[in-house]
Structure 1
Amino acid sequence: MEQVLARLRAAAEATRLRLLAICAECELTVSEITQIIGQSQPRVSRHLKLLCEAGLLVRFREGTWVFYRTPHNSAGADLVRPILDLLPMDDETLSLDRARLDQVKVQREQIATEYFRANAKDWDRIRSLHVDEAVVEKALLDAVGNLAGGRILDVGTGTGRILELLGRTAEEGVGVDMSREMLAVARARLQRADLSNCLVRQADMYQLPYPGGMFDTVILHQVLHFAEKPEAAIDEASRVLAPGGRLVVVDFASHDREELREEHAHRRLGFDDTAISTWFRACELAPDDVISLPGKPLTVRIWSAKADMETAKQKTHKAAE
């Protein structure tokens, strides 16, 4: 009872209600929030601190930036939505906040578009070497199957396309990437697609900031060939896989295009089935049939494996100890 009262007291202030309303729309930095609210950063920061302490907002750091958003799955989340439902949509102040929030979204979109345009030539060249992405995405959907309705982790999310593809049916989608520039592109994409159940975070694929057994599906889409230690990336991905969950790797079959190593920082020139299968089995995952999508000259393969219910439970329990 006292915890609920504390949360209600934290929300019972005009500026803090405005903060909840805009942070429910998307994750925002402090500078973006001050731009929308029109108050000084110290004052806004004090309000944000109170809301975070009450569990009505969550904060996370991305390099030197700090983002805020309303929680997705928590007691605080259960309280935020009813509070926001009470706010009058025609309120003049809230309407102005929404208009300024739209301006922030447009600015984000412009930044993301410019970054994408600057790098599109390289991406287009690589895409021209393999089968059409639409074919790959259809095969990926088939590989994921009904697990797409649970919690999804996209490791090395890049532009956020995989979250966009699977996010509609997911309970929650999380994308991680080390590049802040790519995370900005992904945020803009998810914002444009209105996928409020999906978010992105800056994180290392070798040290995922999540507890064991958290995700029903973990995907590494065109990421593993950048990895110095691909087997370690698979091992870490398997750690956060829930019992009965599926790990999916989409990457190139072994090839000899040395220019990809020299010009695009590919650490590995694709992978053979034996290597991936060996790494899966080392993590006590049961490999599925490999899906092969031949291209000219690169072949894309989709390797997937399922976490045994009992083994995954034991791994999750061990990680929690």
Structure 2
Amino acid sequence: MTLSADQTVEALSAAGEPTRLRILSLLAGEELSVMEMSRILNQSQPRVSRHLKLLTDSGLIERFPDGARVYYRLSHEGWARRLIDTILDLLADDAGEADHRQLDTVREERQAAAASYFERVAPEWDRLRSLYVSESAVEAALHSVVGPGPFERVVDLGTGSGRMLTLVGKKARMSIGLDLSQNMLNIARANVSRAGLDKVELRHGDIFATRLPGESADLVIVHQVLHYLADPAAALAEAARLVAPGGRLVVIDFAPHQFEHLRDDHQHRRLGFSDTEIAGWMVEAGLTPLAPVALPPEDHGAERARLTVTIWSAVRASEAARKTA
């Protein structure tokens, strides 16, 4: 897409202000809420919101509500990203250093709170997760989505208690589970051993940088992980990178909901994801999305029944399909 002269001037005018340049630099790292940017920039929320509106109106950034909060990210439009990249490349290397140090502090606080939560709840993880959705329904649907196998290699990112590995491990020649919580990994090891699986490797690892070879797994699972993350799109891109030709990525998470208390009580950052959002990320990562499977509430009398779980899946074209395309 090309821009008219007026559109070009509007975009440059929107970016051409010190605070708005700082905002673009911050959003180049990850999506952020108004509250987070206000803290990092040390400016009032109304003032930051005015800058964000100008950047949004120009098409340089995107605004998306998530429950009671609003988040912002760089535009997905190619022209906007090229313009932003050019502007940021021209900035001095030390420009925005203080902002990014403050952003690192915000990230560290988030990570510490999440780590503390997961270490605390690890012994009761499966029970807590079942408060929100029927695990038996999810597991039955998962078997239908992934098929009978066999799989050469299964990778479970954010494996938690290892439940996904115990479900599909018998269909796999070998499996790998990654998690940042050592307590969770210990529980996963016990569960995997109890299930009689001996070809499972459990590693301390980061979903954003797995250090696993690209296109090396024919099944990659991301189960109830994305809603904890500051940059779910980046995590999904890393998961997609691991999918081998002919392989499949399966993402299981909540559909959009309004339970704000989950942010404070259970460290949820995002209140679910839409089909369009997940499918868009899958396409950007080079995969072909398949039809999502929604598991709606079973019982309107309980909190857990008011949350819908969706299973999204996508495939990477096989080598034969690539050659004939």
Normalised-by-shorter TM-score class: 0.5 to 0.7
Residues 116 and 185, structure 1, Cα contact 8 Å, conserved in 2: no
Q: 1:251 aligns with which of 239, 243, 253?
A: 253
Separation in 1, partners of 2:121, 2:225: 21
Relative to structure 1, the CA distance from residue 118 to residue 144 in structure 2 (aligned partners, 3 Å threshold; closer, same or farther) is: closer
Residue in 2 that maps onto 1:31: none
Q: 2:187 aligns with which of 185, 188, 198?
A: 185
Residue in 1 that maps onto 2:316: 307
Q: 1:237 aligns with which of 226, 229, 239?
A: 239
Residues 247 and 305, structure 1, Cα contact 8 Å, conserved in 2: yes
Q: What secondary structure is seen at the aligned counterpart in 1 of 2:187?
A: helix
Residue in 1 that maps onto 2:273: 271
Q: What secondary structure is seen at the aligned counterpart in 2 of 1:168?
A: helix
Q: 2:208 aligns with which of 197, 206, 214?
A: 206
1:36-55 superposed Cα distances (whole Å, 9 cap, x missing partner) = xxxxxxxxxxxxxxxxxxxx
Separation in 2, partners of 1:196, 1:167: 9
Residue in 2 that maps onto 1:145: 147
Cα displacement (A) at 1:148 = 4.6
> Is 1:298 matched up with 2:300?
no
Contiguous gaps of at least 5 residues in structure 1 = 1-114, 315-321
Relative to structure 1, the CA distance from residue 188 to residue 223 in structure 2 (aligned partners, 3 Å threshold; closer, same or farther) is: same
Separation in 2, partners of 1:211, 1:116: 29
1:266-315 superposed Cα distances (whole Å, 9 cap, x missing partner) = 1110100000000011012111111000122100000000011249989x
Residues 284 and 311, structure 1, Cα contact 8 Å, conserved in 2: no
Relative to structure 1, the CA distance from residue 122 to residue 218 in structure 2 (aligned partners, 3 Å threshold; closer, same or farther) is: closer
Residues 207 and 235, structure 2, Cα contact 8 Å, conserved in 1: yes
1:20-31 correspondence to structure 2 within 5 Å: none
Relative to structure 1, the CA distance from residue 197 to residue 265 in structure 2 (aligned partners, 3 Å threshold; closer, same or farther) is: same
1:31-42 correspondence to structure 2 within 5 Å: none
Q: 2:171 aligns with which of 163, 169, 174?
A: 169
Letter matched to residue 270 of structure 1: G
Separation in 1, partners of 2:189, 2:168: 15
**Farther off after superposition, 145-154 or 174-183:** 145-154
1:120-131 correspondence to structure 2 within 5 Å: 124-130=127-133
Task: List structure 1 segments (4+ residues) > 3 angstroms apart after TM superposition.
Answer: 115-126, 310-314
| TM-score for the superposition, normalised by structure 1 | 0.58
Residue in 1 that maps onto 2:283: 281
Relative to structure 1, the CA distance from residue 219 to residue 313 in structure 2 (aligned partners, 3 Å threshold; closer, same or farther) is: farther
> Is 1:197 matched up with 2:196?
no
Residues 119 and 183, structure 2, Cα contact 8 Å, conserved in 1: no
Residues 243 and 312, structure 1, Cα contact 8 Å, conserved in 2: no
Relative to structure 1, the CA distance from residue 121 to residue 236 in structure 2 (aligned partners, 3 Å threshold; closer, same or farther) is: closer
1:244-278 superposed Cα distances (whole Å, 9 cap, x missing partner) = 10000000000000111111111110100000000
Letter matched to residue 300 of structure 1: V
Separation in 2, partners of 1:294, 1:266: 20
Cα displacement (A) at 1:129 = 2.5
Separation in 2, partners of 1:219, 1:276: 14
Residues 246 and 307, structure 1, Cα contact 8 Å, conserved in 2: yes
1:175-229 superposed Cα distances (whole Å, 9 cap, x missing partner) = 0000000000000111112211112101000101211111000000001111111
Contiguous gaps of at least 5 residues in structure 2 = 1-117, 298-304
Q: What secondary structure is seen at the aligned counterpart in 2 of 1:254?
A: coil
Cα displacement (A) at 1:146 = 3.7
Residues 147 and 217, structure 1, Cα contact 8 Å, conserved in 2: no
Residue in 1 that maps onto 2:86: none
Residue in 1 that maps onto 2:137: 135
Separation in 2, partners of 1:211, 1:136: 29
Cα displacement (A) at 1:125 = 4.5
| TM-score for the superposition, normalised by structure 2 | 0.58
Equivalent pairs counted in the alignment come to: 199
Relative to structure 1, the CA distance from residue 211 to residue 164 in structure 2 (aligned partners, 3 Å threshold; closer, same or farther) is: same
Residues 217 and 247, structure 2, Cα contact 8 Å, conserved in 1: yes
Name the Cα RMSD after superposition. Answer: 2.3
